Chain A
């Protein structure tokens, strides 16, 4: 965190100054480690063992926050007797179908109470495995029956509490030592710190980044942390939570308003050809009837009205048929394979640099080289725009410029100070940026580009039916200035929603299912409340409370801590004075506190839903997790995950060690691409070391925004690999010299940094060496400094829930000296691939 989010890290240091204990779990020793109370070096890819052992420690010693667990989680819920655990089936859960390599989750369900099974359970697991279905549960959660059978004594052998306890019983400190390489005293100290700092008076927070997500079990890493935090009562409370530190200025915004294939704004599913007939059928399948997600007709109809305006009517399903349909995985890596195979003809790349920044760089470039046309928009001439002129495949002779048919348009982009608009930061906070000056030359904003491209395309549309969605699209924003820049505020107002009276809406609870409201992203509803750009608010920090509700605007409804109803006990009183945040004011008959309460403000804690209630009315006054259909935090997930209702430790796809827990070595549901452009390392001695990649403070992602800057290029001028003195001795590497790192995908050279900050770990009785590689360099990109592309080494193997690649744990070999050039590099690769 100190390395990649340094200014955010000041708050960790503030907490430490006030007595907080800070533990840093990371394969390498960094600036964060230097400032933490203790650094626990871990083998990349083994975190579920560590977190699972903490869960085991909590349950074995009955250290869970029992009142919180009973009231706010599904601990007491009874699970179907058909469920079988990985502990019973040697690494598989019940429902595995080896032929399709997917789970049928029907046996994971809660014990039947006669209620309708959820769509997930009725349809089976292919529903989620196909098209990253689990991804959409970020805001909603899949449907679960609102009132299942429970055992509040938590002793029923099939209640969630007991199932979780049995599941993690083998995750012991000994296993942590054996698999993670963390010594027992280190684990004991961490376990004591975490449990001593949880409960009524104290909270513990977990902070993570892509070190937890870029794994074939990435979603389950976060799930394991969720179980721990729910057991300890650390969710929805100040100083608690599981905090994702995201790496791009508006990566949160581009997920909420997704430039992603499988979702529409506000985490509504993209419709699927095989599963959804019309609007009603779609709404029936996509979530439960209870909880706030039960209002999804209002959310979706308001979106369709924002997009197709007058053309969207009750009679035509509000133009639901204008939405294109998915038929499976249309994600980034599958798209690249489509380019190589010739089905994808045209490609827009805007503010991203896949030739350097995406896994399997060679496959990326071979895809670019097989397009009809490519549009690249960026500040500098990134490698994705110049691969045909100077890409590494020209050096090896795999490609020749004269043979590459791709037509390339490079359009220079406006910088962040040359346009106005909002970024959504990592805590869901929208902050409006004022425009400082006009962009130079041909530089334009993406707002300008897409708006004017859309206008040009509308001129090219015909009366043909296929052109109707473009013809009928609402595409008319006020234009300003000499460049005819569209108004970003007008776009933000459309996103924020407008009511039947033509006035901006203030809350998503005002959205209607009848087409009388419009809203481009229901979770952002209210960002333009009172016709004021709420994201532009800038009351100085000294003039308001620490929660700073008048600085920017956070979705939803300007809440700063999600699910903060859980900061109060079931009766609505703060768990303790120290941790008071929001509470029920019985006199005024409403919730109040330091933040916007994350519940219906007038719903008393004693509210019991009537039989057959719908949406939020079906949630009790004690239910804090209001987007879930049952209002509970889920220790056990009866539906919605592709690879199991509980996290289990699987080794990375490429790992130097076996899985001592299960015969099933890696996540059985992981997504693989068996392609010659990006083969996998053989599981034998050819690739004996663990390789992990990361960022440096002085550079940003693939380097397009840092390598061309003199200050930053000077601070970190060269690609290097970090190795321990022991590994350097074993391989024959000299500090400051060169090393060649090899996987079956690529051969990369880097300067050697021999450092005690990388420590060999003893794993299962064997010494495992790890190699660390920052990934900021490329061969060009306007960079003042250049270097080989670290991402060329990484495999194309994905988490099955969200399709994120395993970039943080793989195997490699390391050789002394510089890499071979030209064809010799290919020959070396061939020797590694075929032994």
Chain B
């Protein structure tokens, strides 16, 4: 048994003197000082992985920092009977999905025939989009088709839904149907 000095506690010495290098002898004072990223999380949200449809459980760790709240870690949820705490490479990388620097956080606008993006205020964008939907709907409204009532527009279409929530799909289908837009499709078709 080595002595108690810092040299004796050095992992190299401990391993050379016969302690198992795959166990405690590999620990250094730095190792001992390491803390899990999740330790300082203010809240932990129970979530589900957003990639494939297996539906693995995720725990999302959020820390309150000086710059506001931020996700510090996403881990598998050991309670899940589906995933038992495991995540695949994509699920394990999903903290980057929500924090990567390439994520867009601003509305962008390209005017017709424009050659560059422009900035646009979100409220303005919403009003402009509503104007276009209302106008295109009216301009392309089809009351009858070959003598039958159809009450629809083929001028407005939508694509996407499989990456979204059930509640979101519901509002989409409800609104589009009321508007008479029927060309609504998602990834289930592909």
B55 interface residue, CB < 8 Å from A? yes
Whether B165 pairs with A326 at a CB distance below 8 angstroms is no
Whether A274 pairs with B148 at a CB distance below 8 angstroms is yes
Residues of A near B54 (CB, < 8 A) are 5, 7-8, 245, 425-426
Q: Assuming the A-B contacts A325-B151, A409-B109, A711-B89, are A402 and B115 also in contact, with contact meaning beta carbons closer than 8 angstroms in the complex?
A: yes
Q: Assuming the A-B contacts A417-B74, A447-B165, are A708 and B170 also in contact, with contact meaning beta carbons closer than 8 angstroms in the complex?
A: no
Complex Cα–Cα for A486 and B165 (A): 13
Complex Cα–Cα for A486 and B149 (A): 34
Interface residues of B in 95-118 (CB under 8 A from A): 96-98, 100, 102-113, 115-117
Whether B91 pairs with A326 at a CB distance below 8 angstroms is no
Complex Cα–Cα for A701 and B183 (A): 22
The listed residue (B110, B140, B174) touching A473 by CB distance below 8 A is: B174
A226 interface residue, CB < 8 Å from B? no
Q: Which of A324, A347, A715 has the most CB of B within 10 A?
A: A324
Which residue of chain B lies nearest to A244 when distances are taken between CB atoms in the complex? B53
Complex Cα–Cα for A486 and B170 (A): 13
Interface residues of A in 439-481 (CB under 8 A from B): 440-447, 450-454, 456-457, 459-461, 466, 469-470, 473, 475
B168 interface residue, CB < 8 Å from A? yes
Whether B62 pairs with A381 at a CB distance below 8 angstroms is no
- Measured between C-beta atoms, what is the minimum distance from A793 to chain B in Å? 15
Q: Mark B154-190, 1 if CB is under 8 A from A, else 0.
A: 1111111111111111111111111111111111111
A757 interface residue, CB < 8 Å from B? no
- Measured between C-beta atoms, what is the minimum distance from A492 to chain B in Å? 6
Complex Cα–Cα for A6 and B76 (A): 13
Residues of A near B86 (CB, < 8 A) are 7, 10
A238 interface residue, CB < 8 Å from B? no
Whether B88 pairs with A252 at a CB distance below 8 angstroms is no
B12 interface residue, CB < 8 Å from A? no
Residues of B near A261 (CB, < 8 A) are 182-185
Which residue of chain A lies nearest to B64 when distances are taken between CB atoms in the complex? A437
Q: Assuming the A-B contacts A273-B148, A410-B104, A466-B141, are A551 and B80 also in contact, with contact meaning beta carbons closer than 8 angstroms in the complex?
A: yes
The listed residue (B53, B149, B180) touching A273 by CB distance below 8 A is: B149
Q: Assuming the A-B contacts A247-B52, A417-B47, A705-B50, are A350 and B98 also in contact, with contact meaning beta carbons closer than 8 angstroms in the complex?
A: no
- Measured between C-beta atoms, what is the minimum distance from A213 to chain B in Å? 9
The listed residue (A385, A416, A451, A698) touching B171 by CB distance below 8 A is: A451
Residues of B near A214 (CB, < 8 A) are 190
A373 interface residue, CB < 8 Å from B? yes
Whether A456 pairs with B161 at a CB distance below 8 angstroms is no
Q: Mark B15-57, 1 if CB is under 8 A from A, else 0.
A: 0000000000000000000000000000101111111111111
A672 interface residue, CB < 8 Å from B? no
Whether B187 pairs with A352 at a CB distance below 8 angstroms is yes
Q: Mark A308-343, 1 if CB is under 8 A from B, else 0.
A: 000000000000011111110011100100110001
Complex Cα–Cα for A344 and B140 (A): 9
Q: Assuming the A-B contacts A10-B86, A345-B136, A423-B48, are A782 and B102 also in contact, with contact meaning beta carbons closer than 8 angstroms in the complex?
A: yes
Residues of B near A451 (CB, < 8 A) are 171
Interface residues of A in 251-286 (CB under 8 A from B): 251-261, 264-265, 270, 273-274
Q: Assuming the A-B contacts A324-B177, A434-B46, are A6 and B88 also in contact, with contact meaning beta carbons closer than 8 angstroms in the complex?
A: yes
A762 interface residue, CB < 8 Å from B? no
Q: Mark B77-98, 1 if CB is under 8 A from A, else 0.
A: 0111111101111111110111
Residues of B near A425 (CB, < 8 A) are 48, 53-55, 82
The listed residue (B53, B56, B131) touching A250 by CB distance below 8 A is: B53
Whether B105 pairs with A388 at a CB distance below 8 angstroms is no
Q: Assuming the A-B contacts A350-B164, A429-B55, are A442 and B113 also in contact, with contact meaning beta carbons closer than 8 angstroms in the complex?
A: no
Complex Cα–Cα for A406 and B132 (A): 12
Which residue of chain B lies nearest to A536 when distances are taken between CB atoms in the complex? B46
Of A353-361, A575-583, A599-607, the one contacting chain B is A353-361
Whether B53 pairs with A473 at a CB distance below 8 angstroms is no
B4 interface residue, CB < 8 Å from A? no
Whether B172 pairs with A327 at a CB distance below 8 angstroms is no
Q: Assuming the A-B contacts A259-B185, A260-B184, A409-B120, are A350 and B107 also in contact, with contact meaning beta carbons closer than 8 angstroms in the complex?
A: no
Whether B48 pairs with A345 at a CB distance below 8 angstroms is no
Q: Assuming the A-B contacts A248-B187, A259-B160, are A711 and B93 also in contact, with contact meaning beta carbons closer than 8 angstroms in the complex?
A: yes
Which residue of chain A lies nearest to B166 when distances are taken between CB atoms in the complex? A253
- Measured between C-beta atoms, what is the minimum distance from B179 to chain A in Å? 6
- Measured between C-beta atoms, what is the minimum distance from A596 to chain B in Å? 16
Residues of B near A169 (CB, < 8 A) are none
A15 interface residue, CB < 8 Å from B? no
Whether B115 pairs with A260 at a CB distance below 8 angstroms is no
Residues of B near A247 (CB, < 8 A) are 52-53, 162, 187
B interface majority secondary structure: mixed
Residues of B near A520 (CB, < 8 A) are 170, 174
Q: Assuming the A-B contacts A380-B103, A804-B190, are A251 and B53 also in contact, with contact meaning beta carbons closer than 8 angstroms in the complex?
A: yes
A697 interface residue, CB < 8 Å from B? yes
Q: Assuming the A-B contacts A409-B120, A709-B96, are A338 and B157 also in contact, with contact meaning beta carbons closer than 8 angstroms in the complex?
A: yes
Whether B108 pairs with A323 at a CB distance below 8 angstroms is no
Whether A359 pairs with B190 at a CB distance below 8 angstroms is yes
Interface residues of A in 355-389 (CB under 8 A from B): 357-359, 372-373, 375, 377-381, 385, 388-389
B128 interface residue, CB < 8 Å from A? yes
Q: Assuming the A-B contacts A248-B187, A261-B183, A416-B50, are A350 and B161 also in contact, with contact meaning beta carbons closer than 8 angstroms in the complex?
A: yes
Whether B157 pairs with A421 at a CB distance below 8 angstroms is no
Complex Cα–Cα for A407 and B168 (A): 25
B7 interface residue, CB < 8 Å from A? no
- Measured between C-beta atoms, what is the minimum distance from B163 to chain A in Å? 4
The listed residue (A10, A352, A454) touching B159 by CB distance below 8 A is: A352
Complex Cα–Cα for A699 and B78 (A): 24
B8 interface residue, CB < 8 Å from A? no
Q: Assuming the A-B contacts A6-B88, A270-B182, are A423 and B105 also in contact, with contact meaning beta carbons closer than 8 angstroms in the complex?
A: no
B13 interface residue, CB < 8 Å from A? no
A4 interface residue, CB < 8 Å from B? yes
Whether B186 pairs with A260 at a CB distance below 8 angstroms is yes
Whether B155 pairs with A345 at a CB distance below 8 angstroms is yes
B14 interface residue, CB < 8 Å from A? no
Residues of A near B94 (CB, < 8 A) are 416
Of A105-113, A149-157, A538-546, A673-681, the one contacting chain B is A538-546
Residues of A near B115 (CB, < 8 A) are 389, 401-402
What 5 A-B pairs come out closest when comparing CB atoms?
A425-B55, A421-B165, A441-B105, A259-B161, A324-B152
A-B contact pairs, 17 of them (CB 8 A): A4-B52, A7-B86, A214-B190, A273-B149, A331-B185, A335-B157, A343-B154, A408-B110, A410-B108, A411-B107, A429-B82, A435-B45, A438-B69, A466-B180, A488-B167, A520-B170, A711-B92
- New contact pairs (12) apart from A348-B160, A409-B108, CB-CB < 8 Å: A7-B56, A251-B162, A260-B189, A261-B182, A324-B152, A350-B160, A407-B111, A423-B165, A445-B168, A466-B138, A491-B170, A782-B104
